[in-house]
Structure 1
Amino acid sequence: MRAILQRVTRAQVSVGGQVIGRCGRGLLVLVCAMQGDAEAEAEKLAAKVAKMRIFRDDQDKMNLSIRDIGGAALVISQFTLAADLRGNRPGFSTAAPPERGRALYEHFAARLAAEGLPVETGNFGADMAVELVNDGPVTIWIDTDQM
């Protein structure tokens, strides 16, 4: 699986002008299931996200996790993280098929919540409007194949 983590002071997602998910201080997590991914990758990714020390401590060092700060996560499906950029028009053939992608996205969000974090989500496959205030800015890319 692939994910983009954005440390945020707040974020929200809307569909059709209606807010369907939001978080305050914490993480906006854009996540994509890749072909061949299984529940094990979703669980590995959730554990890593919950433990990543990317929040400032009292000495202004990135030394605290989202759990340490009592933060929350907004998890959004983003199949475009699978983009193949060899040409000028990206291809997405390495993304998991939609049914499998949805199942792994939902499993990831559930496992992140099981790590003790408040988690809200977007709407898989919907045309979503995501708003955020990136804190730092801090943006980190993760691929479970490289963990």
Structure 2
Amino acid sequence: MRAVIQRVSRAAVTADGVTVGEIADGLLVLLGIHAEDGDAEISWMAEKIANLRVFADNDGKMNLSLLDIAGEMLIVSQFTLYGDCRKGRRPGYSTAAPPETAEPLYHKFITQVQALDIKTATGQFGAMMQVTLTNDGPVTLLLDSDKIF
């Protein structure tokens, strides 16, 4: 499982011109699901993101987590995070989970985050979406459940 995490002061996602998810202060999570991902990766990723200390404390140091600030999370499925660009000019997506595997895992991830008492909003799985955000900092992080970066 891979995630691009951005600390935001606001973020929204639209599909077919309709806003389907929107948050204020919190984290925008673009989530890619690998063909071999399962419950262990979901739990690890949800806990890791919720507890990342990327928000400023009273001294201006990044010491607080999303849980500490009672922030929100916008979760958007993005299979292109498993795009392999090493050969040729067109990315290959053979390691990304197929939609019939990825969609239930995406929803399990959302449920896992909600179980942590985090207010969540989501994109629309499989839809062509537009994401707008105000990156706060900017702070952008990459996570991979295989810990390759």
Fold in common (TM above 0.5) = yes
SS of 1:91's partner is coil
In 2, the alpha carbon distance for the partners of 1:135 and 1:66 equals: 13
Percentage of pairs with the same residue: 49
**Alignment partner of 1:3 is 2:11:** no
- Which 4+ stretches in 1 moved above 6 angstroms? none
In 1, the alpha carbon distance for the partners of 2:15 and 2:41 equals: 28
**Alignment partner of 1:57 is 2:57:** yes
Q: CA RMSD in A?
A: 0.9
In 1, the alpha carbon distance for the partners of 2:136 and 2:72 equals: 14
Q: Which residue number corresponds to residue 90 of structure 1?
A: 91
| TM-fit CA distance, 1:70 | 1.2
| TM-fit CA distance, 1:74 | 0.4
Q: Which amino acid aligns with 2:44?
A: K
In 2, the alpha carbon distance for the partners of 1:126 and 1:40 equals: 26
User: 1:40-68: per-residue Cα shift (whole Å, max 9, x none)?
Assistant: 11111001111110111111111000011
Q: Which residue number corresponds to residue 104 of structure 2?
A: 103
Could you list the runs of 5+ residues in structure 1 that have no partner in the other structure? none
SS of 1:109's partner is helix
SS of 2:66's partner is coil
SS of 1:145's partner is coil
**Alignment partner of 1:127 is 2:121:** no
For 1:1-80, what aligned pairs fall within 5 Å after superposition?
1-80=1-80
Could you list the runs of 5+ residues in structure 2 that have no partner in the other structure? none
User: 1:88-115: per-residue Cα shift (whole Å, max 9, x none)?
Assistant: 1111111011111111111111101111
User: With structure 1 as the length reference, what TM-score do the two structures score?
Assistant: 0.97
For these two proteins, the number of residue pairs brought into alignment is 147
